[in-house]
Structure 1
């Protein structure tokens, strides 16, 4: 499904290609030999990402609009002190109306509500929804507003999705606020997505990510027990987790390192779900190396996508992956937008990060890394269900693709660093 807003964002990316130049991640020429089951893996990941693994968390996987929006609305309505909400896509539709109304109601009840919207991602947000929140007393701000004399910064967007209520409950993942995120993810015109609800000490790290972006956007440093109630962050479950955030504009490419370390550490399986798969050479060779050492590598991507050039750029690399044993599937019922990865059935990550240059080198991104067999197995079951609604891409079919597809791949090549 191609949306007008999606077209506008792609058009802006083309403009930025011409006007701003391209950032890049630091080269990762060699990767350590790690075992994802051993404590050294978590310790290494923490060293590169700047956050530690914390225990005592409850983690709940939320699938599609039918689970994501009720959970978000319940959390918002439960607020007693503060709500921090950062969103990339905020468009029209019933979910947008419901979220705006719930935030406005809490503001009228005297709750402090901070809303941070990416200036590009929220281009299509109806003005009435912004006014509803602002007039109720919510503070609604734009992240890196569109200004003609700041084009060098316009290319760096806040792609994070963060909801934190009272510093105690958090929701993050890949979903946006729009009618297309409604439903069960298996109907044409709707999007298939995955979020995660968090309770416990790891919420403090999620709040810290919001605070970082809020400080840049407003100059206001939030703090104190209403935002960071450390004494109240008692254990809520048995899950170990950490929030990994990257801010390429500030020099951090932690997300790229996290993915490479996890891929290189796999011993049995790598199951990736991602909508925008435009990997660089190092990530391709790491996936191929995993397949060659006997790891089952399965990639699930959309059969249809909102940016056709991105799809063609992604498919251009299929040949090498398929010839080396990587399995590729395309999801058919709806547009796949979930961003998850499970390694060896015991470690998983859910978040906002696409496997492309834009996420690793340009955008502010956020993922939760989860060290828990039960959660990983839950995501494995979701992955298997999604595969049952997908078509496998075979090398022979890819190699016999038509001239039009090959032409679009060539057309997409110069734009890969904006995808």
Structure 2
């Protein structure tokens, strides 16, 4: 039970970091728009349609259908392109698109996609797919090695886009029914926000010194397929704060009632962790959902667990997803703001990696994602404060061992 502080104490806690004043009620759509535009300097666009896709069973058919339907251009950027039948199906669809005259540009992260089948790459090159590698691994360029593109973007004909957490690999196939089928969420986007997604692709593509081959594609600025307001944020490797870090802290400063954070990797820096605790201290209900025993990086799970005690002491609810690896990235604030895209709530996303995040102001979408979140909680285990304080000494020692390396997670 979160202790409700007196109003003057809650206001003091708010003033310890920036909270935007606006003529709109706190927690309202208007206030969130003012707060995020003020902090990030990027305007929202109206008339967008955002459709959530859960797990590979929904995600991959929608993406492949968009590729098969493209007539002018395809821009595809991913961190993970591994193996399996789905990797083959994507390569074949991209080759067919190039064969019918579509300009196909594919950008792969040279670290995340390093195990991709060389046979598939040769087939794509022969078919006319322009494949480039983001920041090839070359010694001694340490900066390039540790600062990757974690963006996941597909844009077809400049009018339909996809972003979220999914990678192109067998692990994402299926419907999260077993440890072999990961839980993830991706989003299909139409409307003016697609322009922002395409710009996020272009900024990484141009770093390879390759020109954009199809600058004449009509941008969807006049389209209004939906009613959602959307803001596209591009995070980039930096020394200090990135826009993703600013976004996370702006949300904590301005959330009024409730905050949901669902993330595959939870490794905040000390400042962001303390801001979360202070947000809970002023009466905001916070729920955190992270992977359980099924995880692809055990060291990241240990690093996340080392942050649990102060969060639990502050009244934050923590849940671990049980059935399989939980790979979704989602923030929901006050049942009106949804933050979706590639960033995790970790230091890599806030400081080291290229990310893309879509902030959506739409109550209907937020309520739908909350319903999905409740379903995920029903398959999760809640961590209690009393039980966590009794965890074994060996576990505490492991948390101490990984502590110096959190900046790389």
Match of 2:7 in 1: none
Structure 2 residue matching 1:320: 3-state secondary structure: helix
Partner of 1:384: 374
Q: CA deviation at 1:317?
A: 1.4
Find the counterpart in structure 2 of residue 323 from structure 1: 313
Q: Deviations over 1:100-123 (max 9, x none)?
A: 110010001110000000000001
Q: What does residue 60 of structure 1 align with?
A: 51
User: Among 245, 255, 279, which residue is 2:234 paired with?
Assistant: 245
Name 2:159's counterpart in structure 1: 168
8 A Cα contact 1:174 1:339, kept in partner: yes
Q: Deviations over 1:19-44 (max 9, x none)?
A: xxxxxxxxx97222453415353234
**Alpha-carbon distance in 2 for matches of 1:250, 1:104:** 39
Summarize the alignment of residues 349-388 of structure 1 with structure 2, pairs less than 5 Å apart: 349-388=339-378
1:212 corresponds, among 196, 200, 203, to: 203
In structure 1, the partner of 2:193 is 202
Residues 4-23 of structure 1: pairs in structure 2 closer than 5 A: none
Counterpart of 2:67 in structure 1 is 76
Q: Which residue of 1 aligns with 2:287?
A: 298
Aligned to 1:340: 330
Q: Does 1:275 align with 2:264?
A: yes
Match of 1:118 among 109, 113, 122: 109
TM-fit CA distance, 1:361:
0.6
Which of these residues, 305, 311, 314, is aligned with residue 304 of structure 2?
314
Counterparts of residues 138-153 of structure 1 (less than 5 Å):
138-153=129-144
- Secondary structure of 1:116 counterpart: strand
Deviation at 1:223, TM superposition (A): 5.7
Cα gap change, 1:183 to 1:150, in 2 (>3 Å): same
Q: CA deviation at 1:303?
A: 0.4
| Count, aligned residues | 390
Deviation at 1:251, TM superposition (A): 7.8
Aligned counterpart, 1:182: 173
Distance 1:186 1:370 in 2: 29
Kindly indicate whether the alpha-carbon contact (under 8 Å) linking 1:36 and 1:347 is maintained by their aligned counterparts in 2: no
Could you say what the CA RMSD is over the residues aligned between the two structures, in angstroms?
1.7
- After the TM superposition, which of the residue ranges 364-373 and 187-196 deviates more from structure 2? 187-196
Contact 2:39 2:250 in 1 (8 A): no
Q: Distance in 1 between matches of 2:210 and 2:103?
A: 17
8 Å contact 2:240–2:351 — kept in the other structure?
no
Q: What's 1:101 paired with?
A: 92
Displacement of 1:150:
1.7
1:285 aligned residue (274, 297, 302): 274
How many Å apart are 1:222 and its aligned residue?
A: 5.4
Q: CA deviation at 1:83?
A: 0.1
Partner of 2:10: none
Normalised to the residue count of structure 2, the TM-score between the two structures is 0.92
Match of 1:265 in 2: 254
Residues 326-351 of structure 1 deviation map (CA, whole Å, 9 limit, x = unaligned): 00000001100000011111111111
Counterpart in 1 of 2:5? none
SS of 2:201's equivalent?
helix
> Conserved in 2, the CA contact under 8 Å of 1:43 and 1:52?
no
Give deviations 1:123-151, integer Å, cap 9, x for gaps: 11111111121110000000000111322
1:400 aligned residue (355, 368, 390): 390
* 1:49–1:258 CA contact under 8 A, matched in 2: yes
Unaligned runs of 5+ in 1: 1-27
Is 1:414 the counterpart of 2:404 in the alignment?
Answer: yes
Q: Which structure 2 segments of 5+ residues have no match?
A: 1-14
Residue 263 to residue 145, structure 1, CA distance change in 2 (3 Å):
same
Question: In 2, Cα distance between the equivalents of 1:97 and 1:218?
Answer: 27
Contact kept in structure 1, 2:178 and 2:323, CA below 8 Å: yes
Task: State the secondary structure of the residue aligned to 2:177.
Answer: coil
Relative distance call for 1:217 and 1:49 in structure 2 (3 A) is: farther
* TM-score, L = length of structure 1: 0.90
Alpha carbons of 1:251 and 1:267: their partners in 2 closer, same or farther (altered >3 Å)?
A: closer
Q: CA deviation at 1:219?
A: 3.9
1:32 counterpart residue number: 19
CA–CA distance in structure 2, aligned partners of residues 147 and 256 of structure 1: 28
